A and B are shown apart, each in its own frame.
Chain A
């Protein structure tokens, strides 16, 4: 199991190889990238197998006191500053931590990245920077896999920032477009604000525990070596980083703009890398959040709920297909956070995976539609199921899954979240969560019906089904979106359900609260039916609703004015302050502190050069005076 580090290393190796040798290789080296991530996917199965075969006696493995999970930690010394063991010396390690959370994430990331890369073969065909795309893609996957495997905060932070820079490169992949450049910068800067919190949190933990190792930190929390205040503060700071990466309110603004990148990149960002890093971080450091009175979890659940609800309403009114999906992602990330905040550890990770497969599928489907029609607005589409049936079917599977229709993956995971929320949070939470679920089904139905149902528009009559390299990944993901939920059950004799594989504290089988389940099924089905009535049949008119709530609608359509508020803040606060700093830099630093000494030197030089008269007799006088001085000096020495 200690060779699990091979998984990211494959992709890490592929990236520079493609950059350097890509142009000499067939296919610009894209197959190298696919081979690497495919290799990672294969190794994932071996890791899973050896973890299942391991027990607390296996080398490096033990049953964690915090999570109750069989955890394997393999670390190497990285470098030592100072004498080992001496006071004040720092010894840094790097290593891999393997527990069910890691394994689940490894599977998700490698599989989705593999699918997306195969899909990209066709989608990015003919792009002038084809090789570069795959190189960054590889690096992106490698960074995310490192993030998942990291057993200490330092390595995690390095991988975290690598993920950030790769997303920057991919969102701004078509950097000839100003909007793509802006979006890339926005994504980088907004997530960076959260990263500062993450860094401070890590340093706080290091200061308290004296080690970057996560296991040491968890141990310190469990034994009480880390005080409640520090644990709470560091958990909240880590959560700040997670909010940035996972696009939680108020840091969600970068994710919809990230649509400017190639669509497969969106699929990767939304499903397997980047945004789920935040959820993963909270899950990974859950002992810190859950310690003492679990106060940070209240914040987590509130932020999650607000995000879920707000994003869902925006998704409902967006007209751009990719934006609908983006806000859907934000909403579902909010649900995951809410679930984590409501102690629904298993449910959150389960939803993360189910959502990952479904959302990757939806984005690949959207990419397929875009590739074929070259439209992004849902208004320009419609009836596409007639020309691209495979895409229509798999997209519908993804939409129904996220909408919460039974049997599909999303239903089971969402049901788990509902159970967790109703068990651990008060009635307001469960009502709003149910409402979010309803909205989720509604906007998913809206997107699905607007794009694929109804009459085919003339402008799309030339649209065609995508090539096999694009449909195959979609179909594979569709199978998972369809059947993934089945692993949550207890299969007698073989598997105790997802809840006994991945849990926090103690394993549990699958829960099913009848009233919640029935309610959510009824709501989801009703939502899809309503959506069908509105957008396909046209039998329900929205005009009345629209006109009555025009004011509120305007607010939602403008995304609650988050961008405007930020713009105002940047213009009125940041830029004004920056101008002051710039003035300070010009006047004080540049003019006085830099040019000042330079001026002084010059003036002094101008004065000093006057002694160079060019007259021989002046120099002789100087020599004479020097000799006199020397003579007096000798005299003083002697006397």
Chain B
């Protein structure tokens, strides 16, 4: 069987790619996508731990999976809000590129 550590490494790789996307992309839409990648990385980590450490830790059987469900819930809410914000931003500034939106500075 596949060991826990490989899932963790997959999770780390996915997370780092998402992080790079957040830091490097210009479009707000792409940044939101990258955030989704990061959330998925966390979910993989949680579920892998839940499956592999069933009953060994102080966590109950399904805790990891349930936390992942909540993360997905929050992710859904976040994407909805992000869409609203992107729309408003586009309407006010006619762009979705974050490097053109730097009003909150000195």
Contact = CB atoms under 8 A, between A and B. Distances in A.
A612 B102 CA distance: 10
Interface string A595-632: 00000000000000100111111001100100000000
Given A620-B22, A620-B23, A621-B23, A615 B98 contact: yes
A615 B104 CA distance: 8
Nearest to A616: B98
A624 B19 contact: yes
B106 A617 contact: no
Contacts of B2: none
A616 B101 CA distance: 8
Contact of A614 (B19, B22, B24, B102): B102
Interface string B18-57: 0100111100000100000000000000000000000000
A612 B99 contact: no
Contacts of A620: 22-23
Interface residues of A, number: 10
Interface string B70-106: 0000000000000000000000000000110111111
Contacts of B103: 614
Contacts of A615: 98-99, 102
Nearest to A606: B106
Contacts of B25: 617
A614 B23 contact: no
Contacts of A616: 31, 98, 101
A606 to B, nearest CB: 9
Nearest to B105: A614
Secondary structure class of chain A's binding surface, majority of residues:
helix
Nearest to B22: A620
Nearest to B98: A616
Contacts of B105: 612-614
Interface residues of B, number: 14
A607 to B, nearest CB: 11
Contacts of B23: 617, 620-621, 624
Contact of A613 (B19, B24, B102): B102
Nearest to B19: A624
Nearest to B16: A624
Contact of B22 (A609, A613, A617): A617
Contacts of B98: 615-617
Which of A613, A614, A621 has most chain B Cβ within 10 Å? A614
Nearest to B103: A614
B24 A617 contact: yes
B23 to A, nearest CB: 5
Contacts of B19: 624
Contacts of A613: 102, 105
Which of A613, A616, A621 has most chain B Cβ within 10 Å? A616
Contacts of B101: 614, 616
Contacts of A617: 22-25, 98-99
A558 B33 CA distance: 99
Which of B24, B98, B106 has most chain A Cβ within 10 Å? B106
Contacts of A609: 106
A612 B105 CA distance: 6
Contacts of B104: 614
A402 B99 CA distance: 99
Nearest to A608: B106
A617 B31 CA distance: 9
Which of B22, B25, B31 has most chain A Cβ within 10 Å? B22
Interface in A560-617: 609, 612-617
Contacts of B99: 615, 617
A609 B106 CA distance: 7
Contacts of A614: 101-105
A614 B99 CA distance: 9
B22 A612 contact: no
A616 B22 CA distance: 9
Contacts of A612: 105-106
Contacts of A624: 19, 23
A623 to B, nearest CB: 9
A612 B103 CA distance: 11
B33 to A, nearest CB: 14
A612 to B, nearest CB: 5
A153 to B, nearest CB: 62
A621 B104 CA distance: 17
A620 to B, nearest CB: 5
A609 B22 CA distance: 23
Which of B19, B22, B23, B102 has most chain A Cβ within 10 Å? B23
Contacts of B102: 613-615
A614 B103 CA distance: 6
Contacts of B22: 617, 620
A622 B85 CA distance: 23
Contacts of B31: 616
Contacts of B106: 609, 612
17 contacts: A609-B106, A612-B106, A613-B105, A614-B101, A614-B102, A614-B104, A614-B105, A616-B31, A616-B98, A617-B22, A617-B24, A617-B98, A617-B99, A620-B22, A620-B23, A621-B23, A624-B19
Given A617-B23, A617-B24, 13 more contacts: A612-B105, A613-B102, A613-B105, A614-B101, A614-B103, A614-B104, A614-B105, A616-B101, A617-B22, A617-B25, A617-B98, A620-B23, A624-B23
Q: Which 7 residue pairs of A and B lie closest in terms of their CB atoms, listed nearest first?
A: A614-B105, A614-B102, A609-B106, A616-B98, A620-B23, A612-B105, A615-B102
